[in-house]
């Protein structure tokens, strides 16, 4: 308890859970860039019975209260699979939110929340606190550059002031994640040298392209999930994913996927050796629903997806024996060829700043840097 009567305490019971869950709608009510999540999905994300990621985690939710009102929140988490895989005692914090009307008070409130998460993680034997790192394996980091336009699907968002609040508590940069923008309305086209290169790659390795086979949907998702992990193996922050998580990913992606957005590169033996996956940015629609799917939200979402012209490049993977041969550029070129139209834009989201090969490849494709996320560490 602080001198001002402000208290950070663990969530206990349904009332506390709802206060934790609903806080973003209060924090961002006047922020035109925020995209409210689907409420039913966001609730499931916070419960182990509906989010398989949490089945291999210990976690605690905290709310910050002042005068009987919830003014902040944070979660602390130990992902046992990640700790085992990395060989490091690293715990995470997530879902950090705090009101910022008064900067001095916001700094005090942030310190209470971050202190509660730190102390909980320390009690679990962790030596480092890292975050923000959500309960979904594909959402990391705090936006530190490129707050506009609104975030794309399955990407975090926060106000500009959060980074200084974390730094004021002693957190320091661990790693940055980079994003790029590609826009036909702004004149983007694939450079001619990339067209010539990818023609040569397809001929040299006898590669053809196919779109996703929805009649074998679960198998297709398992393939690109496994290949994505193989491609990223050894990269900073990557940890194992369970079969249950793959099944949940398949279920969550199915309503939004379109055939031309999921491509596989196949060799002359009929083996798939790479994939590229883009997702229509349904945040464009969700922004209008304010997170409500009833009574008309689902209809608006499903009917609106075919008309979307904004996308997120969500994943790209190449089998080990084909890496470094230009297959990634070929996949990108073929996906763009099938999707590009007069109004199409895409965010390539996101790539580790020190992944030189990928950063170099995206730069050569002519993409424009657009957004930067930062993951912070604190020795505890």
Which of 126, 141, 176 marks a domain boundary?
Answer: 176
Place of tokens 């910050």: 64
pLDDT band at residue 138 using 50, 70 and 90 as cut-offs: confident
Verify that 249 and 331 share a domain, yes or no.
Answer: yes
CA–CA separation, 256 vs 165, rounded Å?
Answer: 36
Q: Can you name the residues that pair with 133 across neighbouring β-strands?
A: 140
Domains in the chain: how many in total? 2
Verify that 368 and 230 share a domain, yes or no.
Answer: yes
Q: Give me the mean pLDDT over the 314-332 stretch.
A: 91
Instruction: Tell me what pLDDT residue 215 has.
Output: 94
The answer on pLDDT for 297 being more than 70 is no
pLDDT band at residue 16 using 50, 70 and 90 as cut-offs: very high
Q: Can you name the residues that pair with 69 across neighbouring β-strands?
A: 66
Q: Is residue 379 part of a domain?
A: no
Q: Could you give the percent of the chain with pLDDT greater than 70?
A: 95
- pLDDT, one tens digit per residue, over 85-105 is 999 999 999 999 999 989 999
Among 13-17, 143-147, 238-242, which stretch is predicted with the lowest mean pLDDT?
238-242
- Please give the radius of gyration of the chain, using alpha carbons only, rounded to the nearest integer: 21
- pLDDT, one tens digit per residue, over 34-62 is 999 888 889 999 999 999 999 999 999 99
- pLDDT, one tens digit per residue, over 152-175 is 998 999 999 999 999 999 999 999
Verify that 190 and 248 share a domain, yes or no.
Answer: yes
The answer on pLDDT for 292 being more than 80 is no
Here the tokens at position 305 are 């997806």
Residues in contact with 328: Cβ distance below 8 Å, sequence separation at least 6, in sequence order = 274, 316, 318, 358, 361
Among 184-188, 207-211, 293-297, 313-317, which stretch is predicted with the lowest mean pLDDT?
293-297
Range of the domain at 284: 182-373
Cis-peptide into 295, omega within 30 deg: yes
Q: Is the dihedral of CA 358, 282, 55, 131 positive or negative?
A: positive
| Count of Cβ atoms closer than 10 Å to residue 60 Cβ | 17
Instruction: Tell me what pLDDT residue 258 has.
Output: 87
The answer on pLDDT for 1 being more than 60 is no
Verify that 26 and 151 share a domain, yes or no.
Answer: yes
Which of 141, 176, 211 marks a domain boundary?
Answer: 176
CA–CA separation, 311 vs 283, rounded Å?
Answer: 10
CA–CA separation, 54 vs 47, rounded Å?
Answer: 7
Verify that 165 and 201 share a domain, yes or no.
Answer: no
Verify that 41 and 155 share a domain, yes or no.
Answer: yes
CA–CA separation, 82 vs 51, rounded Å?
Answer: 16
pLDDT band at residue 303 using 50, 70 and 90 as cut-offs: low
CATH number at residue 24: 3.40.630.30
Cis-peptide into 149, omega within 30 deg: yes
Q: Give me the mean pLDDT over the 307-334 stretch.
A: 90
pLDDT band at residue 371 using 50, 70 and 90 as cut-offs: very high
Verify that 116 and 241 share a domain, yes or no.
Answer: no
Q: Could you give the percent of the chain with pLDDT greater than 90?
A: 69
- pLDDT, one tens digit per residue, over 194-236 is 999 999 999 999 999 999 999 999 999 888 888 888 887 778 9
Instruction: Tell me what pLDDT residue 121 has.
Output: 98
The answer on pLDDT for 295 being more than 60 is no
Q: Is residue 378 part of a domain?
A: no
Verify that 55 and 135 share a domain, yes or no.
Answer: yes
Instruction: Tell me what pLDDT residue 298 has.
Output: 54
> Do β-strands 310-318 and 345-352 pair in parallel, antiparallel, or remain unpaired?
parallel
pLDDT band at residue 296 using 50, 70 and 90 as cut-offs: very low
pTM metric for this prediction: 0.91
pLDDT band at residue 358 using 50, 70 and 90 as cut-offs: confident
Give, for 237, the enclosing helix (H) or strand (E).
none
Mapping DSSP onto H, E and C, the string for the chain reads CCCCCEEEEECCHHHHHHHHHHHHHHHCCCCCCCCCCCHHHHHHHCCCCCCHHHHHEEEEEEEEEECCEEEEEEEEEEEHHHHHHHCCCEEEEEEEEECCCCHHHHHHHHHHHHHHHHHHHHHCCCCEEEECECCCCCCECEEEECCCCCCCCCCCCCCCCHHHHHHHCCCEEEEEEEEEEEECCCCCCCCHHHHHHHHHHHHHCCCEEEECCHHHHHHHHHHHHHHHHHHHCCCCCCCCCCHHHHHHHHHHHCCCCCHHHEEEEECCCCCEEEEEEEEECCHHHHHHHCCCCCCCHHHHHHHHHHHCCEEEEEEEEECHHHCCCCHHHHHHHHHHHHHCCCCCEEEEEEEECCCHHHHHHHHHCCCEEEEEEEEEEEEC
The whole-chain average pLDDT of the chain stands at 91
């Amino acid at each position: 308890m602080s001198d001002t009567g402000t208290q950070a305490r663990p969530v206990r019971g349904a009332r506390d859970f709802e206060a934790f869950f609903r806080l973003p709608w209060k924090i961002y009510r006047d922020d035109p860039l925020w995209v409210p999540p689907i409420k039913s999905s966001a609730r499931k994300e916070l419960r182990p019975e509906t989010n398989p990621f949490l089945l291999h985690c210990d976690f605690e939710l905290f709310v910050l209260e002042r005068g009987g009102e919830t003014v902040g929140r944070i979660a602390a988490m130990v992902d046992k699979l990640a700790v085992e895989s990395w060989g490091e005692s690293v715990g995470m914090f997530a879902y950090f939110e705090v009101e910022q009307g008064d900067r001095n008070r916001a700094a005090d409130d942030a310190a209470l929340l971050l202190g509660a998460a730190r102390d909980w993680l320390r009690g679990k034997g962790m030596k480092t606190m890292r975050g923000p790192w959500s309960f979904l394996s594909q959402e990391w980091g705090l936006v530190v550059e490129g707050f506009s336009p609104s975030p794309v699907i399955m990407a975090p968002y926060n106000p500009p002031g959060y980074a200084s609040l974390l730094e004021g508590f002693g957190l320091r940069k661990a790693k940055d994640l980079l994003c790029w923008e590609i826009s036909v309305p702004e004149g983007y086209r694939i450079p001619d040298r990339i067209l010539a290169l990818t023609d040569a790659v397809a001929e040299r390795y006898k590669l053809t392209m196919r779109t996703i086979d929805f009649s074998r949907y679960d198998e297709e998702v398992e393939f690109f999930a496994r290949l994505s992990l193989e491609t990223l193996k050894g990269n900073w922050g990557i940890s194992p994913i369970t079969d249950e998580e793959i099944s949940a990913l398949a279920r969550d992606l199915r309503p939004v996927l379109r055939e031309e957005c999921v491509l596989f590169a196949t060799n002359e033996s009929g083996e798939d050796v790479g994939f590229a996956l883009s997702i229509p940015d349904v945040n464009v629609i969700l922004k209008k629903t304010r997170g409500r799917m009833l009574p008309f939200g689902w209809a608006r979402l499903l009917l609106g997806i075919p008309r979307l012209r904004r996308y997120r490049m969500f994943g790209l993977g190449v089998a080990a024996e084909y890496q470094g041969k230009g297959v990634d550029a070929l996949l990108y070129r073929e996906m763009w060829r099938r999707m590009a139209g007069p109004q199409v834009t895409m965010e390539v989201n996101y790539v580790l700043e020190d992944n030189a090969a990928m950063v170099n490849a995206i730069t050569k494709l002519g993409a424009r840097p657009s957004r930067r996320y930062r993951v912070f560490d604190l020795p505890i």
